[in-house]
Amino acid sequence: MSFESSLKEALNRGIKLIEESKFYQDITNGENAKEYYIKYLHYAYQYVTLTSSFTPLAARRMDSKH
């Protein structure tokens, strides 16, 4: 088996796992959309509030050419 075919097989297994998940099934069937959106907003808020504090710290450590 070639490296490329191994990658394609792994990708196809990953896609199958996603398609079998409850989240994917709910989204494609239009179920629990409100609950998923509320969770999305919660995580997005956490991401934005936390990254705004450590992103400048990381930027200061980088070389100015980046």
Residue 31 Cα distances to 25, 26, 27, 40, 58, angstroms: 8, 5, 6, 15, 40
pLDDT, tens only, 27-46: 999 999 999 999 999 999 99
Q: What is the pLDDT of residues 43-64, one digit of tens each?
A: 999 998 888 777 788 888 888 7
Here the tokens at position 25 are 């099934």
The domain segmentation of the chain, as residue ranges, is 1-31, 32-66
**How much of the chain exceeds pLDDT 70, in percent?**
98
**Cα separation of 44 and 56, whole Å?**
19
To the nearest whole number, what is the mean pLDDT of the chain?
A: 91
Q: Does the pLDDT value for residue 22 go beyond 90?
A: yes
